[in-house]
């Protein structure tokens, strides 16, 4: 392979990377598009690959994903993971079994650079399921740096018999 061929290949790879980033940037220009992308990127049929690079692109470098709920001893607790940790622990299951998460209601509060979204969700195994297998609330902290929206943290818990979703966080 000639030196010119190598430079051409490198140039094409760099251009492809810029094109992908430009495509990703379109998805984080508004609060709505950022939240929609968050739900869309983890959702898909069994056997459907997810765009995990896009998933990671949504978050700040030090973002945390924090599921909470009762654990083996019955006490409510939490665990923290990075976006990469979420992909490592959940990615294969989402792709293998199928998973669709849909936002059904949202409460948004903003003060300066701080935006908090209380996002009520329903989860399904397929896009045609009539009833969700679970529901819950994602507490999503975001920031707009003037160029795009960033997710700083997502802290969530599922609905349970002893922890029903309050009416004020459900569609009217």
Task: Give percent of the chain above pLDDT 70.
Answer: 89
For the chain, the domain total comes to 1
Torsion of CA 82, 54, 95, 116, to 10 degrees: 60
Terminal-residue alpha carbon distance, the chain: 65
**Cα distance between residue 83 and residue 66, in whole Å:** 10
pLDDT computed for residue 13 by the predictor? 47
- Per-residue model confidence as pLDDT tens digits over 72-91: 888 999 999 999 999 999 99
- Per-residue model confidence as pLDDT tens digits over 35-44: 999 999 999 9
Residue range 16-24: mean pLDDT, rounded: 72
Residue 116 reports pLDDT greater than 60: yes
- Per-residue model confidence as pLDDT tens digits over 145-154: 999 999 999 9
Q: Which of 9-18, 72-81, 115-124 has the lowest mean pLDDT?
A: 9-18
Q: Domain with 51 in it: what CATH number?
A: 3.10.450.50
pLDDT computed for residue 100 by the predictor? 97
Task: Choose among 45, 89, 24, 58: nearest CA to 154.
Answer: 58
Query: Would you tell me how many other CB atoms lie within 10 Å of the CB of residue 37?
Result: 21
Residue 25 reports pLDDT greater than 70: yes
pTM of the entire predicted model: 0.87
Residue 129 reports pLDDT greater than 90: yes
- Find the domain containing 145 and state its range: 3-169
């Amino acid at each position: 392979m000639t030196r010119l061929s190598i430079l051409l290949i490198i140039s094409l790879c760099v251009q492809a990377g810029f094109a992908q980033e430009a495509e990703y940037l379109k998805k984080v220009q508004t609060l709505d598009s950022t939240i929609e992308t968050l739900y869309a990127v983890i959702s898909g049929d069994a056997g459907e690959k997810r765009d995990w690079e896009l998933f990671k692109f949504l978050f700040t470098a030090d973002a945390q994903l924090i599921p909470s709920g009762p654990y083996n001893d019955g006490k409510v607790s939490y665990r923290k993971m990075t976006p990469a940790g979420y992909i490592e622990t959940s990615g294969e299951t989402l792709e293998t079994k199928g998973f669709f998460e849909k936002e059904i209601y949202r409460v948004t509060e903003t003060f300066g650079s701080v935006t908090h979204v209380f996002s009520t969700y329903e989860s399904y195994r397929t896009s045609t399921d009539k009833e969700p297998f679970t529901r819950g609330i994602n507490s999503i902290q975001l920031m707009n740096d003037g160029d795009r929206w960033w997710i700083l943290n997502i802290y969530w818990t599922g609905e349970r018999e002893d922890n029903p979703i309050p009416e004020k966080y459900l569609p009217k």
